[in-house]
Amino acid sequence: MIGAIEILIIAVIFGIIYGRDAIDKTFKKHADENLAESFAVDVKEFYEKDPKRLILLVAGGLATFIFVGLGIYWALTRTDLLKMIGLE
């Protein structure tokens, strides 16, 4: 009988193998450009395909960032979390 840890290890190994292949196929990074240049080219191509989708993606990312920030603020001010971790 295979345990949960063995299944998790197998899943991680397959994730590493197939995830690396998917990343290599998805991003068109060249050896002579750094990460920022590659990202800028990808964003430019994404915007040229559909500008509205890029704007919605940026708005969704900003909304997610604000939501997570407010959740952290609420957790720190409304609960005894700081006392639990010894910061107060």
Q: 62 or 81: which carries more pLDDT confidence?
A: 62
Q: Name 46's Cβ contacts closer than 8 Å, sequence gap at least 6.
A: 53, 54
pLDDT at 69: 94
* Containing structural domain, residue 85: 50-88
Looking at the 3D structure of the chain, how many domains does it have? 1
41 lies in some domain:
no
Query: Tokens representing 69?
Result: 């920030």
33 lies in some domain:
no
pLDDT at 40: 78
Which DSSP letter does residue 34 get?
Answer: -
CB 27 within 8 A of CB 40: no
pLDDT at 45: 81
Answer whether 0.75 is exceeded by the pTM.
no
39 lies in some domain:
no
User: pLDDT grade, residue 13 (50/70/90)?
Assistant: confident
Is the C-alpha dihedral spanning 71, 72, 78, 80 positive or negative? Answer: positive
18 lies in some domain:
no
How far CA 4 is from CA of 9, 12, 87, 88, in Å, comes to 9, 12, 36, 38
Please give the Cα distance from 44 to 33 (Å, whole number): 15
CA 79 to chain centre: 27
**pLDDT digit string (tens) for 22-71?**
555 555 555 566 666 777 777 788 788 888 888 888 898 899 999 999 99
